Amino acid sequence: MKVLIVYAHPEPKSFNAALKDTAIQTLKQEGHKVKVSDLYEMNFNPVAQKEDFTELSDKAFFKYAKEQQHSYQNDTLNPVIKEEFEKLLWADFVIFQFPLWWFSVPAILKGWFDKVLLFSGVYGGEYGRYNEARLTDKLAMISTTTGSPEGSYASNGFSGDIHEQILFHINHGMFYFTGMTPLEPFVAYTVSHSEEDRKNYLKEFEEKLKNIEQIKRIEYPKLEAFDENGQLKS
Amino acid sequence: MKVLIVYAHPEPKSFNAALKDTAIQTLKQEGHKVKVSDLYEMNFNPVAQKEDFTELSDKAFFKYAKEQQHSYQNDTLNPVIKEEFEKLLWADFVIFQFPLWWFSVPAILKGWFDKVLLFSGVYGGEYGRYNEARLTDKLAMISTTTGSPEGSYASNGFSGDIHEQILFHINHGMFYFTGMTPLEPFVAYTVSHSEEDRKNYLKEFEEKLKNIEQIKRIEYPKLEAFDENGQLKS
């Protein structure tokens, strides 16, 4: 399997870095091919802006999706973004390793989604959305760390339900929107509090990645299940 | 009322800009004081990094929240971030104006949350979280624009429920986490498709901002409603 790890943490000695290193080592041992996008090391610029394109189709009105389409069709995408896009197309499985900041991804990783998930390159244009988008041959998985304890992320917890309320905008809105099948996230809760917890989580992560086929897939309804108003047919 | 508008769109002629301008004009006419943070115009750097602090408490291990605390206590926060933090403390009401990109905020705005919502400055340290955090005297509201039609964001819509599944990580995870009371979001659906829709939405936004007291508040449970495992007491 070809695996891309998109990694976002500013500290190389962090637990997120340890999870990323565990993933690289485990996946390689299992015979997978691995590429890594270390966004902090790359000094990745997350701001969607005119400089993301080497030419603009409309200099008078900057519409990001339109310029993504133009640059995709004319091969005028900024080389840094193009390389990320090509890594994404290469991969069978994409792992996003990041600390949960404000119940979402760090800004540097949000910019990766804003910039690399190209309109007309992965959805729109000749492609549709969700199960009609381009990346239906790929799996995607969140691997993240939290500040609040596990109980608070359960249904009726004070943080909100980790799956239905918090990570939905990523699993459904980013992964599934582009066609990818989301795998059940790997969440390490409040790891900064205990060395033993950290060891156990690394071991658990390793075991998980040795058995990718057994990781639960998150199933969302296909587009054909919805009526012309965008509502589930009853 | 003192109102801060945090605005994130790269195109000054966009509909998001028109909504921002409508807000400024309406609020001033109603006698409110208004400040604006135009993140693209400011060239705001959203990447959480060492340069956000003029000194580090721990040069060997970069932990962002810890450095936020140190910089808050020692007045060593980067001046750009400090100014945003002071604007936030100044405001009674904060409006976030942005296009919904990948079911969340653009990266440049995510970085504003990552950087300005200081650990120990608005939560943690002497403050708690949610109704025990610092910003309980403030209202906050999302004003956003979407690419998919309204029906798809209803319960059972193909985009997901706009309130419970998509904007929850912002309203609950960013606003309420810091103590702010979220107001019902203003959402302009698929505005790029119709000039008439745009006019109607601007009018609707204006009317809404003339009657801030009547905008519905989103109520979340207080911390004391949860047990020691972080679960709602039954």
Query: Which tens digits make up the pLDDT trace of A94-116?
Result: 999 999 999 999 999 999 999 99
Q: What is the pLDDT of residue A21?
A: 98
- State the virtual CA torsion across B135, B230, A171, B102 in degrees, nearest 10: -10
Chain A: nearest CA to B158, how far in angstroms? 6
Structure token digits, residue A173: 């809105």
Of B116, B90, B102, B106, give the one whose Cα is nearest residue B175.
B116
B103/A166 CB distance under 8 A: no
Chain B: nearest CA to A210, how far in angstroms? 30
CB atoms < 10 A from the CB of A82, how many?
19
What's the rounded mean pLDDT across residues A5-11?
A: 98
Question: Model pTM?
Answer: 0.98
Residue B144 confidence (pLDDT) above 90 = yes
DSSP letters, chain A, are: -EEEEEE--S-TTSHHHHHHHHHHHHHHHTT-EEEEEETTTTT------GGGBSS-S-SSS--HHHHHHHHHHHT-B-HHHHHHHHHHHH-SEEEEEEE-BTTB--HHHHHHHHHHS-BTTTBSTT--SGGGSTTTT-EEEEEEEESS-GGGGSTTBTT--IIIIITHHHIIIIIGGGTPEEEEEEEEESGGG-HHHHHHHHHHHHHHHHTGGGSPBPP---GGGB-TTSBB--
Q: Which of B40, B46, B64 sits opposite A46 (nearest CB)?
A: B46
A110/B103 CB distance under 8 A: no
Name residue A187's beta-bridge partners. A144
Residue A193 confidence (pLDDT) above 80 = no
In a domain, A66, yes or no: yes
In a domain, A201, yes or no: yes
What's the rounded mean pLDDT across residues A115-126?
A: 97
Query: Which tens digits make up the pLDDT trace of A162-177?
Result: 999 999 999 999 999 9
Contacts of A169 (CB under 8 A, 6+ apart): A104, B102, B103, B104, B160, B165, B166, B169
Number of A to B CB contacts under 8 A, please give it.
180
The mean pLDDT value of chain B amounts to 97
Q: Which of A50, A173, A229 sits opposite B103 (nearest CB)?
A: A173
Residue B234 confidence (pLDDT) above 90 = no
CB atoms < 10 A from the CB of A233, how many?
10
Q: Which of B49, B106, B158 sits opposite A230 (nearest CB)?
A: B158
Q: What is the pLDDT of residue B216?
A: 98
Q: What is the pLDDT of residue A234?
A: 84
- CA–CA gap between residue A30 and residue A5 (Å, rounded): 15
Q: What is the pLDDT of residue B191?
A: 83
Specify whether the CB–CB gap between A26 and B86 falls below 8 A: no
Chain A: nearest CA to B16, how far in angstroms? 12
Q: Which of A40, A110, A230 sits opposite B104 (nearest CB)?
A: A110
Specify whether the CB–CB gap between A157 and A176 falls below 8 A: no
Chain A: nearest CA to B23, how far in angstroms? 22
- CA–CA gap between residue A103 and residue A69 (Å, rounded): 30
B106/A117 CB distance under 8 A: no
Q: What is the pLDDT of residue B194?
A: 84
- CA–CA gap between residue B88 and residue B178 (Å, rounded): 11
In a domain, A126, yes or no: yes
In a domain, A232, yes or no: no
- CA–CA gap between residue A162 and residue A171 (Å, rounded): 11
In B, which residues are within 8 Å of A164 by CB distance? Answer: 164-165
Structure token digits, residue B111: 């970085």
In a domain, B234, yes or no: no
Query: Which tens digits make up the pLDDT trace of B194-232?
Result: 889 899 999 999 999 999 999 999 999 999 999 999 999
In a domain, B133, yes or no: yes
CB atoms < 10 A from the CB of A147, how many?
18
Specify whether the CB–CB gap between A166 and A159 falls below 8 A: yes
Confidence at B192, pLDDT banded by 50, 70, 90: confident
In A, which residues are within 8 Å of B11 by CB distance? Answer: 61-63
Instruction: Indicate the number of domains in chain A.
Output: 1
Residue B38, helix vs strand vs coil: strand
Chain B: nearest CA to A180, how far in angstroms? 14
Confidence at B55, pLDDT banded by 50, 70, 90: very high
- CA–CA gap between residue A45 and residue B137 (Å, rounded): 35
Query: Which tens digits make up the pLDDT trace of A43-83?
Result: 999 999 999 999 999 999 999 999 999 999 999 999 999 99
Q: What is the pLDDT of residue B206?
A: 98
Q: B interface mutation test: which of A43, A58, A104, A226 has the most B CBs within 10 A?
A: A104
Of B103, B116, B99, B138, give the one whose Cα is nearest residue B42.
B116
CB atoms < 10 A from the CB of A224, how many?
8
Specify whether the CB–CB gap between A135 and A129 falls below 8 A: no
In A, which residues are within 8 Å of B56 by CB distance? Answer: none
Q: What is the pLDDT of residue B137?
A: 98
In terms of residues, how long is chain A?
234
B165/A148 CB distance under 8 A: no
Structure token digits, residue B188: 């302009």
Which residues between 31 and 90 in chain A have a beta carbon less than 8 angstroms from any beta carbon of chain B?
40, 45-50, 61-65
In a domain, A200, yes or no: yes
Nearest CA in chain B to A155: B231
The mean pLDDT value of chain A amounts to 97
Q: What is the CATH number of the domain that holds A221?
A: 3.40.50.360
Instruction: Look up the domain containing B127 and give its range.
Output: 2-225
In a domain, B218, yes or no: yes
Confidence at B193, pLDDT banded by 50, 70, 90: confident
